[in-house]
A and B are shown apart, each in its own frame.
Chain A
């Protein structure tokens, strides 16, 4: 049986792990002072926020488990995972491209690849757009704001 609450269970567990990571690693090692001036530690609000997220995430998991008995609709978690992976790869490539090849080359590739991948088949339009837009933006920021893009 497919579970309606599967998305909630996965999201809740994922968030709970992040909240635990924040409570036991990020906050203790990321904030040095334990007691701040005036009686309230700088850790207090981050800890409260992390604890609230942890508790609510666990409630989300419980909520998801309670939904499973009756629901039969198809979960979308698989798609979400694939999308997240594709986007992460894009982010890394884009970041690497911007750092090494620069804005114009990376932007040409971004527009051309995404455009073609999502269904653009008029090659002349796509070529004009992917070359023209980055150059116009780059020249615009250079001459209007005096800022050189990477």
Chain B
């Protein structure tokens, strides 16, 4: 593994690769600091731009966007008490009081250093765990894979929304949409109605950008109509007493217990499908508060609150690639978008990825580690700039994002049809967001639908439709049993 990692570093240490990582980080942070947008929007909009890059540069760029977008949300949380992303909400609890007492730069440094450290720990765990995970996954046949996918679907549905029913509806809606196009076995045209453009199925970037990025922007724009623009407390002109801005490394390292706890919580959450970055951040914040000698100081400007939140939410970024690379199952929507980028660049996610594209995967790992160092430099140098960007009013930013979405979807195939698909999915996403049906489940169902169908049909072919074969596969049995448990638990929880 060390040899492969060294080779990975050799491949990753090129000028262009580093440039793309830095560009990804900068764009990710810039989009992340704008309240209402985040790493998912940033990745969705920027995926089409990667079509013109090599697979490694493309994935490294998107990893940079994801890392930057996740940590960027802390800037407005700390400065304006207005988190740029949901996962940074807990950072505002202690970051903003620090700003009010004249330590905004120190608070942002705590956020940045924690973010980079949590991310680094998570990346190391990813590198160590992905091979054993993939080795186990290689034992899976189509039957076991079908069972794992059913488990992932139920876990996602049970956790990603208050109603497991809505989660499952969205997932199977996504699976249904994934069947549009040519049949994977006998190439029969399915639900294309003579449209040649649909033979390859619905465009993944159109579906993802429409339902995730554009739907979110549309919702915010529509909410803003007729409302007076509100300035967050502590916005431009708010009086802030000058205070400490220095943060010696020794002081930061002194919080090592919180850092490691947060990174492990974030990594654990990241490895399980559907749990999400926000949950990791709040779990970690709660754990840090419970473990503290002075829990009452949380919420009044305790740096441990920022560290716990930022280290945990950034730790999800690396860890969610463990199931994505080992099994082809994304841990969250950011990983789902990364998987879509893998697919777009001809890399099929799953256990064979390490054997077929081992060079790219280890170069990706190296890029992720390099990105952490670059993140520290870019983030540290840019603190004054991010602070300015976070104050740009949304009514100037969001319409521009609409235009960027249109451009992003048009670029890959130069197809007006894809723009129509995106606009339609934005409408669908808007309605789903407002009715509490999780869009994330729809997108993940759409991404995994093809794999689910293929593995199911292979199982039927292989075992000649004999359903009793399930009893001969302990792995499939365990995952199906776990699926039933997850559904029952979710139903009981939703009844309370």
Decide yes or no: A119 and B227 within 8 Å by CB, A107-B403, A111-B399 being known contacts. yes
On chain A, the residues within 8 Å of B224 by CB distance are 118-119
The distance in angstroms between the C-alpha atoms of A76 and B436, with both chains bound, is 11
- Count of A-B contacts with CB under 8 A? 186
For the side of the interface on B, what is the size category?
35 or more
Q: Is the interface of A mostly helix, strand, loop or mixed?
A: helix
Are A30 and B403 in contact (CB-based, < 8 A)?
no
Residue on A nearest B394 in the bound complex, by CB:
A118
Instruction: Tell me which residues from 45 to 85 in chain B have a Cβ below 8 Å from any Cβ of chain A.
Output: 52
* Closest Cβ–Cβ distance, residue A108 to chain B (whole Å): 9
Does B431 touch A at the CB level, under 8 Å? yes
Q: Which residues of B contact A147 (CB under 8 A)?
A: 410-411, 414
- Give the contacts of A45-66 with B (CB-CB under 8 A): 45-46, 49-50, 52-53, 56-57, 59-60, 63
- Complex-state Cα separation, A26 to B180, whole angstroms: 11
> In the complex, how many angstroms separate the beta carbon of A95 from the nearest chain B beta carbon?
6
Inter-chain CA distance A7–B166, complex, in Å, is: 12
Q: A129-B396, A145-B52 are in contact. Are A40 and B191 (CB under 8 A)?
A: no
* Contact between B427 and A11, CB atoms less than 8 A apart: no
User: Quick one: which of A115-150 are within 8 Å of B by CB?
Assistant: 115, 117-120, 125-126, 129-130, 133-134, 137, 141, 145, 147, 149-150
List of A residues within 8 angstroms of B165 by Cβ: 56, 59-60, 63
Q: Is the CB of B192 within 8 A of A83?
A: no
Known: A114-B399, A119-B395, A150-B410. Is A22-B222 also a contact (CB below 8 A)?
Answer: no
The B-contacting residues of A in range 80-133, CB under 8 angstroms, are 80, 83-84, 86-88, 91, 94-95, 98-99, 103, 107, 110-115, 117-120, 125-126, 129-130, 133
In the complex, which residues 216-244 of chain B have their Cβ closer than 8 Å to any Cβ of chain A? 218-219, 221-222, 224-225, 227-229
Chain B neighbourhood of A150, CB < 8 A: 410, 416
Q: Which residues from chain B contact A141 at a C-beta distance below 8 Å?
A: 407, 411
Is B456 positioned at the interface, with any CB of A under 8 Å from its CB?
A: yes
Contact between A49 and B400, CB atoms less than 8 A apart: no
Task: Report the minimal beta-carbon distance from B163 to chain A, rounded to whole angstroms.
Answer: 8
Contact with A along B415-454 (1 / 0, CB 8 A): 0100110011011001100111100000000000100110
The reply on B295 being an interface residue by CB < 8 A is: no
Which residues of chain B from 166 to 196 have a CB within 8 Å of any chain A CB?
Answer: 166, 168-169, 172-173, 175-176, 179, 183, 185-186, 188-193
Sample of 8 further A-B pairs with CB below 8 A, known A39-B460, A60-B165:
A38-B185, A45-B179, A45-B457, A49-B172, A95-B423, A99-B416, A103-B407, A118-B394
A–B pairs, 7, beta carbons within 8 Å: A79-B434, A83-B434, A88-B427, A115-B399, A118-B395, A119-B395, A150-B410
Chain A residues at the B interface, C-beta cutoff of 8 Å: 7-8, 10-11, 15, 22, 26-27, 29-33, 36-40, 42-46, 49-50, 52-53, 56-57, 59-60, 63, 76-77, 79-80, 83-84, 86-88, 91, 94-95, 98-99, 103, 107, 110-115, 117-120, 125-126, 129-130, 133-134, 137, 141, 145, 147, 149-150
